[in-house]
Structures are given as structure tokens and as C-alpha cells.
């Protein structure tokens, strides 16, 4: 859990409070805010290439060595043919474990450790126009239960284009589990595929449910938000609360000044986990140049080791003919 005795003041100033409302932040507070808004990419990026014969590996979610029974890093990520598990001794050099866990139609995983068990949430497309969220459980990261349905697209705003719910992220908030998820879609004309339109929230007293949804999305496309003017993408929290506030990351979907589709990772803050505002003035990772990150920066997961906060994410190097790979960015939290 990331804490600082004066962080709330520093973040409040960064979120738009006037200097007259409160005294100036300390140097350590300012350094913490700066760390959340300044990340360095690993020099070995991209770390993970798609499986043989494929052009996509994305939506990573990770477990630290202290969370895994074998003391290694574990990652779950999806290709077009399903969800794969990868392992690493250092979180930099990764290898695939075969066979894959779940096949065609299973995408966008998230792994949660809770009460001695591993819970893998993921999106399952049961047709080309409809998806729902499922969960499977394991005690050893090797044998998994039969997936069961957690959430379906049954609200009007979840069905505005395709009827989809996915990109699950689950966290415990006191005695309740919070499930942030993406819903519905927007079409990227230049890329020829769809990305999520909204981010919603459901809550439950147990992982098995029942899950109770907020009636309206928490994040939506907004013409006034330059990095979320087309879709909300996906969303995850940083672990813990920050002096009573929440910090989240989002890969917003947007059209740039030339009308080209883009996605970049944003840092958001909230007093209650429901109403979200930008913390950093610009994305922490954005498309650039002719690199492996040329076109779109996509979904992600974070892991903290000591003072190092790791951010695993995938990026696409083109639009209709793009290849997606996974890389790492890091920041040092004071």
C-alpha cells in the first residue's frame, strides 16, 4: 500500500485546488505526485512477442513472486487464440507455458489473489456481437475450475453497439468486492476493429456474487477530454488507497488532431472510487514515432516491489496491419 502523511494535500493541489485553500506541499509530496506522472520504459522493450504464428499478445495481468506458490513472476495475457500463462524469474525475461489456459473467444484476463486462492476473471465472446465476464479459480496456478459467468451485458448502455462487458478488474474495498469493467464498443475505422466505449462498476459481498451494477457508466467518451474523446478503454486501480483517495489508470481511446485513432495510458484520481478526474496533465505512456508503440497503447497491470512500481502494458505498431507486443515501464515511489 502506498502512503505518505501529506499526500492528500499534494494531490489536492494537483487536482485543481487553489494555493489559497491550503499551504504548499512538502518536497516529498511533490516528488510522489511527480513519480506517478513520470515513468521510464525498460530498455529491453518490448519484452514479449506474440506466440509463433500470431500477431498479437496483449492485456497483461501479473502476480509478484511473493504471491505465487513457485516464487516466480506469473503473467496472463491473451492472443487471438485465447489466454496464455507466462513465467519469469525477474519480471523481464518471460517464457510461455503451454498449453494455453482458455481458447478462442477468451480475452482480457485479470488475476486476483484472495483468501489463499487465485481468481482469474476474463471476457468471453460467445458470439461475434456479444461477450460476458467469467471467472475461474485455482489453488496452484496450474489447475483451474470450470469458468462460471460473473457479469452479462444487460443494461441499455452496455448494448449501444455490440453487447459487451469485459476488461474486468476486481479489488476488495472493506467488506465488499468492486468490479470495474468495460462495456459496449466504438469502432476504429482506420484499424478495422472495436474498442470499449464505457467503464462501469459492479459490487458484491462475495466473489461468487450476486454483483450489483451502478446504473450509469463511471467513464464515457467526452469531447472535452482530448485523450478520451472516442472511448473509455479499460481501467484498473493502483493497490490500496492514498490517504483516503483512489488512484486509477485508464487507457483512453481518442482521435488525434488528424482524425487518427489512438490510445494512451492516463492517471486518474477519485475521493470515492466513483467520480474520476485527471491527475497528470498528459498521458504517462502515449504513441510515438515509428516504434513498436507507434499507433495505440493498450491495457495494463501494475505491481509494486519495494519502491519500484511496475507497469506492464501492450502496444500496437500500426492500425489494420499492426502487431501487438508487451512492454514494461517503471517509476520509483519516494
What digits encode the pLDDT tens for the residues 187-207? 999 999 999 999 999 999 999
Q: Is residue 219 one of the residues assigned to a domain?
A: yes
Q: What is the pLDDT of residue 6?
A: 33
pLDDT tens-digit series, residues 230-278: 999 999 999 866 667 899 999 999 999 999 999 999 999 999 999 999 9
Q: How confident is the model at residue 90 (pLDDT cuts 50, 70, 90)?
A: very high
CA distances from 321 to 32, 60, 79, 193, 305 (A): 39, 21, 15, 11, 36
Beta bridge pairs of residue 252 = 264
Band of residue 30 on the pLDDT scale cut at 50, 70, 90 = confident
Locate all alpha helices (DSSP H) within the chain, ordered by sequence.
7-14, 27-37
In a domain, 20, yes or no: yes
- Domain of 131 in residue numbering reads as 7-332
Checking 146-154 for CB contacts under 8 A at 24+ apart, the result is 147/102, 147/122, 148/208, 150/121, 150/179, 150/209, 150/211, 151/179, 151/181, 151/202, 151/211, 151/213, 153/183, 153/184
- With respect to residue 198, please indicate whether it lies within any of the assigned structural domains: yes
CATH label of the domain that carries residue 188: 2.115.10.20
The mean pLDDT of the chain is 91
Instruction: Determine contact, residues 107/122, Cβ cutoff 8 Å.
Output: yes
Residue 265 lies in a domain: yes
Domain-located, residue 2: no
Instruction: Tell me, yes or no, whether 78 lies in a domain.
Output: yes
Q: Would you say residue 280 lies in a domain? A: yes
Q: Is residue 177 part of a domain?
A: yes
Q: What is the count of structural domains for the chain?
A: 1
Amino acid at each position: 500500500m502506498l502512503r505518505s502523511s501529506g499526500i492528500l494535500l499534494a494531490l489536492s493541489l494537483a487536482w485543481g485546488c487553489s494555493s489559497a485553500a491550503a499551504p504548499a506541499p512538502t518536497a516529498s509530496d511533490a516528488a510522489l505526485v511527480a513519480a506517478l506522472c513520470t515513468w521510464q520504459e525498460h530498455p529491453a522493450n518490448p519484452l514479449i512477442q506474440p506466440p509463433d504464428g500470431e500477431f498479437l499478445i496483449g492485456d497483461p495481468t501479473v502476480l509478484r513472486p511473493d504471491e505465487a506458490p513457485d516464487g516466480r513472476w506469473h503473467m496472463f495475457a491473451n492472443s487471438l487464440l485465447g489466454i496464455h500463462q507466462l513465467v519469469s524469474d525477474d519480471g523481464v525475461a518471460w517464457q510461455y507455458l503451454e498449453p494455453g489456459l482458455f481458447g478462442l473467444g477468451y480475452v482480457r484476463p485479470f488475476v486476483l489473489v484472495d483468501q489463499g486462492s487465485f481468481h482469474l476473471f476474463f471476457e468471453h465472446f460467445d458470439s461475434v456481437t456479444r461477450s460476458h465476464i467469467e471467472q475461474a479459480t485455482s489453488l496452484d496456478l496450474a489447475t483451474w475450475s470450470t469458468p462460471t459467468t460473473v457479469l452479462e451485458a444487460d443494461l441499455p448502455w452496455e448494448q449501444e453497439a455490440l453487447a459487451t462487458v469485459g476488461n474486468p478488474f476486481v479489488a476488495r474495498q472493506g467488506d465488499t468486492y468492486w468490479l470495474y469493467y468495460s462495456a459496449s464498443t466504438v469502432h476504429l475505422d482506420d484499424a478495422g476493429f472495436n474498442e470499449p466505449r464505457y467503464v462501469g462498476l459492479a459490487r458484491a459481498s462475495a466473489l461468487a456474487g450476486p454483483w450489483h451494477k451502478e446504473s450509469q457508466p463511471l467513464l464515457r467518451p467526452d469531447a472535452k477530454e482530448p485523450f478520451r474523446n472516442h472511448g473509455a478503454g479499460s481501467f484498473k486501480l493502483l493497490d490500496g488507497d492514498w490517504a483516503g483517495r483512489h488512484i486509477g489508470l485508464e487507457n483512453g481511446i481518442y482521435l488525434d488532431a488528424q482524425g487518427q485513432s489512438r490510445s494512451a495510458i492516463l492517471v486518474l484520481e477519485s475521493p470515492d472510487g466513483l467520480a474520476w478526474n485527471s491527475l497528470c496533465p498528459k498521458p504517462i505512456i502515449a504513441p510515438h514515432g515509428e516504434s513498436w508503440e507507434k499507433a495505440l497503447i493498450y491495457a495494463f497491470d501494475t505491481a509494486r516491489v519495494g519502491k519500484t512500481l511496475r507497469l506492464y502494458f501492450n502496444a500496437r505498431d500500426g492500425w489494420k496491419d499492426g502487431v501487438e507486443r508487451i512492454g514494461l515501464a517503471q517509476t520509483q515511489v519516494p
